[in-house]
Structure 1
């Protein structure tokens, strides 16, 4: 929900993490899509925080996207 604090939201956080070469965690509740956030990287690691929801298909699709499939 970084977008509530700044228009660039998680994109800006991702750029800062990349500049510092540190790991960034991204929530399924982020205000920006994971592909766009990871596109800001420079090889630094990322992880996805998954909150299980009733829609197991949507959850599985999010995991596949995080895996890059």
Structure 2
């Protein structure tokens, strides 16, 4: 499936699928398995499975669900 929209968010590439964006995927270059955090931006702190990659996974999810 081809993304209907692609842009950059922090260090990640965001791909959106569908006219009403039912699916959103983030590709973070070099990120291992874990939760993305952005301590400099006030989002969490780095830990074994909380990875400082410059984007905030919690904020991205909240934005997607319009919370």
TM-score with structure 1 length normalisation?
0.31
Higher normalized helix content (fraction of residues): 1
Higher normalized strand content (fraction of residues): 2
Q: Which has the higher contact order (CA 8 A, sep 6+)?
A: 1
